[in-house]
Structure 1
Amino acid sequence: MKYDSIILDIDGTLWNTTEIVAEAWNKAIEVSEYNVKTCTAEILKKEFGKPMDVIARDLWPSLTGSDQAKLLELCCKYEQEYLEKNENDITFPKVVNTIKELSSKIDFYIVSNCQCGYIELMMKKTGLTPYIKDFESFGATGKQKGDNIKLIIKRNNLKKPVYVGDTQGDCDACKASGVDFIFAEYGFGQVNSCTARISSFDQLSLIYR
């Protein structure tokens, strides 16, 4: 399996922000005008990987679409602040070193269903900015993950990319975009099919030779 590029998911693949994000979102809910249930890290693990508007509908079904969007915007504001202040290492084991080591042999990209600014924040906090060639998000394009994978492929003239993710949504996006899928089984979800699977991130070094 000789690939010319690796496209990465973030949450459940590179790091786990769910504890921090739950705390941030609950603070946003507390100061907001909306009477909705708070969330937990376990709830967010089931939601992360979905487009942001879908997460808002899942978490706050009693709100109108416009109110869901307003609350989500507030939650993301607090999330950004909490993640900026976080000093703990929340990356999965060997993620950063593996990307740095492999980047001399293969190019890395990121496609996530996150909001604008989240990928940039992750790269800054982990020191991975120099090692990621390009990235795309739902927040930037409003497109589904499969379409954003296609955008990255076209924009960078990729011939044989592979995507690494941890949910069925990632698997479906790979099928829609026609790329191979490596399942990070240490992450948040389960999948019904994959090209290969890894139990730790550094196993990418074995898959890509």
Structure 2
Amino acid sequence: MQKPDSLIFDMDGTLWDAVDTYAYSWNIVFKEQGIDKTISRDVLAGMVGMEGKKVIEILMPEFEHDRRVEIYSIVNDKRHNLIREKGGILYPGVREGLRLLAEKYPLFILSNCAKGIIRQFIDWAGIDELIKDELAHGVNFMPKSHNIKLLMDKHGLTNPVYVGDTEGDGLQSRLAGIPFVFVSYGFGTTDDYDLKFDDFTALAEHFVSL
């Protein structure tokens, strides 16, 4: 794998773990809506990285599509405030590693989350000056492979890599025609990657040294 000209990061399971906050947002809304349902951390952790339409099909099979979308919209509105208040767990070495990497590469975040959540994360983590741009699935409801290409076109990237933690991240990287860097500490597993790292510090040190 040749030296990249940029790094595009997944968010959940790659930069932080906010599953407890996400589960809390679902459960608050279910209670407010009079829905007798509770989502556990383990159930939600298994869906990290999925597109929203798939998540709501799994979580709310008893509702029609429009009602699922309505509830999901309320959850995401609630989540904006909760991320500011509760945040999540930044993985060890992420803030320091991003700071080192940003001196050498343009950095991007691309996630299958709802619109606005990446910005909430960036503000919460205090990394605004390190991230050149971000793109969420909720902006255009397109797959990661499509959105990777959008970032490439917008910023003139010729050799980016995508850093993620799930098999789906690897598949979408392949579809976009770019290398996939797998971080094993996240929520998923896969054997299909170009590079693998067990912690963020090792990842940062590798790319800084190129």
TM-score, scaled relative to structure 1:
0.95
Does the alignment pair 1:126 with 2:149? no
Runs of 4+ in 1 over 3 A off after TM superposition: none
Please say if residues 98 and 204 of structure 2, whose CA atoms lie closer than 8 Å, have aligned partners that are also in contact: no
SS in 2 for 1:135: strand
Per-residue CA deviations over 1:114-162 (Å, capped at 9, x if unaligned) read 1111010000001111111111111101111110011001111101100
Aligned counterpart, 2:29: 28
Aligned amino acid, residue 28 of structure 1: V
CA shift at 1:69, angstroms? 0.3
Matches within 5 A, 1:1-209: 1-35=2-36, 37-86=37-86, 90-208=89-207, 209=210
Give the counterpart letter for 1:90 in structure 2: I
Give the Cα–Cα distance (whole angstroms) in 2 for the partners of residues 24 and 171 of structure 1.
28
How far, CA to CA, are the matches of 2:168 and 2:34 in structure 1? 32
User: What is the count of residue pairs matched by the alignment?
Assistant: 207
Instruction: Say if 2:9 and 2:110, in contact at 8 Å, map to a contact too.
Output: yes
Structure 2 residue identity aligned to 1:146:
S
Over residues 79-103 of structure 1, what are the superposed CA-to-partner deviations in whole Å (9 max), with x where a residue is unaligned? 222111126x610001011001111
Q: Give distance in 2, aligned partners of 1:171 and 1:59.
A: 24
Q: Which residue identity does 1:25 align to in structure 2?
A: W
Matched residues in 2 for 1:94 and 1:82: separation?
24
Q: Is the 8 A contact 2:111 2:137 kept in 1?
A: yes
The two structures have a TM-score, normalised by structure 2, of 0.95
Q: Shift in Å at residue 163 of structure 1?
A: 0.5
CA drift of 1:183 comes to: 0.5
Q: Give, in angstroms, the shift of residue 33 of structure 1.
A: 4.3
Distance 2:44 2:74 in 1: 16
Alpha-carbon distance in 2 for matches of 1:171, 1:19: 25
Aligned-partner residue type, residue 12 of structure 2? D
> Structure 2 stretches of 5 or more lacking a match?
none
SS at match of 2:132: strand
Sequence identity of aligned pairs in percent?
29
Note if contact 2:116-2:136 (Cα within 8 Å) is conserved in structure 1: no
Please, what is the CA RMSD of the aligned residues? 1.2
- Distance in 1 between the 2:164 and 2:93 partners? 16
